[in-house]
Amino acid sequence: MTLALSPDGRKGFAPFHQCVAVFDPEGVQATHFIEPVGNTGWAADIVVDTSTGLAYIGGGGTPTGGFTVLDTRTEQVVGGQFVGLGMASVAVDGDRIYAGEACTDGRIFVYDKHTLAEIGSIAVGAVSYTGSCPNSGAFQFSADHKTGWAAVVQEGLIRFDAEHLLLLDHVPLDSARLPFWLDARSIALVGDAWLYLARIDALDEWSAALLHPTAHVAYPPTYKVLALAPDGRTLAVSSGTGSTGPFGDTLKYAPRLYDVPGLTLRYAFPTRIGHLSDDLVWHPDGKRLYLMVEYQVEVYLVRPR
């Protein structure tokens, strides 16, 4: 499941089927549900525009027809948009909304944030050799809104001209591995200089300009999510591992903090046994982390430097 906080950090939101759960970040408990909300479902993306307080919901683990716009202040649905043949992911940057089309060639549709009118699309042209759906997602953008990066599921990393909607680079992550291991589920960008890729079995640091790896941390095979702290120097990583034993499957997870650039481990929270961890977000105060663990939210306190 995914989650997000309002820009002021006073409300938390987690999409479920046809509704959004609202929780109190202070007490870490659910308070009520907003329903009905379209384009929600299992692991649907929810991203909040900090300048407007509007949330964009849709895609995620189960592709949706498009995205729904929810005002986090009034908790009212204020709009929505269908996306091509269906949507796998959504992001907002500057005055534009970016939506990755589901199960096609990774095409990215671009919309005006204010009118929801379609501006155009970026032709990625990813080709699957494994029967997978090459969806574009995990978007990041430069501070001047002119350059974007995205992960194409099982097909590599792309860089695109966000101003003129042109594909610039399409880089395979590692052709020597089995295709399943190429997936980058989450991307973080630091200072327009460094990209961090949460891959199935690793955490990588890349030069954003050269699109070349500069640091690598091996992980057991698992899905991971990245979240950059408000200070821009601390990267949080959520990950979980599963193993089969005489008493059935055991799931473990343990968030970690890294100093960036360089991927120096700063702190590893104790390993916990339970469900697989999902999404991870920072509170605006930079002192708390909120981790979505299937159907519950956990809070982690971060010690000051």
Q: What is the CATH number of the domain that holds 97?
A: 2.130.10.10
Tell me the C-alpha to C-alpha distance, in Å, between residue 242 and each of 33, 127, 171, 273.
31, 30, 30, 10
| Residue 240: pLDDT band with limits 50, 70, 90 | low
pTM for this structure?
Answer: 0.91
In contact, 175 and 161? CB cutoff 8 Å: no
The per-residue pLDDT for range 247-264, each reduced to its tens digit, is 445 566 778 999 999 999
211 has a pLDDT exceeding 50: yes
Scored b (16 or more CB within 10 A) or e, 185-213 reads bbbbbbeeebbbbbbbebbbbbebeebee
pLDDT value of residue 137: 87
Q: Which of 56-65, 155-164, 243-252, 293-302 has the lowest mean pLDDT?
A: 243-252
293 has a pLDDT exceeding 90: no
Judge whether 226 lies within some domain. Answer: yes
In contact, 220 and 173? CB cutoff 8 Å: no
76 has a pLDDT exceeding 50: yes
Higher pLDDT, 227 or 176: 227
169 has a pLDDT exceeding 80: yes
Judge whether 111 lies within some domain. Answer: yes
**Counts for the chain of helices (H) and strands (E), in that order:** 0, 28
161 has a pLDDT exceeding 60: yes
* Domain identity same for 6 and 126: yes
* Domain identity same for 127 and 208: no
Where a domain ends, among 121, 137, 153? 137
pLDDT value of residue 175: 46
Tell me the C-alpha to C-alpha distance, in Å, between residue 250 and each of 93, 181, 202, 223, 289.
39, 22, 21, 16, 24
Judge whether 144 lies within some domain. Answer: no
Where a domain ends, among 81, 116, 137? 137
In contact, 13 and 22? CB cutoff 8 Å: yes
Judge whether 151 lies within some domain. Answer: no
- For the chain, what is the domain count? 2
Which residues lie below 8 Å from residue 11, measured CB to CB, with a gap of 6+?
A: 5, 22, 23, 24, 25, 72
| Residue 274: pLDDT band with limits 50, 70, 90 | low
Q: Cα(96)–Cα(145) distance, rounded to whole angstroms?
A: 9
Q: Cα(133)–Cα(119) distance, rounded to whole angstroms?
A: 24
Q: Which parts of the chain fold into alpha helices (H)?
A: none
* Domain identity same for 130 and 18: yes
Judge whether 145 lies within some domain. Answer: no
In contact, 167 and 125? CB cutoff 8 Å: yes
12-16/19-24 β-pairing: antiparallel
Domain span at residue 225 reads 183-305
* Domain identity same for 193 and 132: no
Judge whether 169 lies within some domain. Answer: no
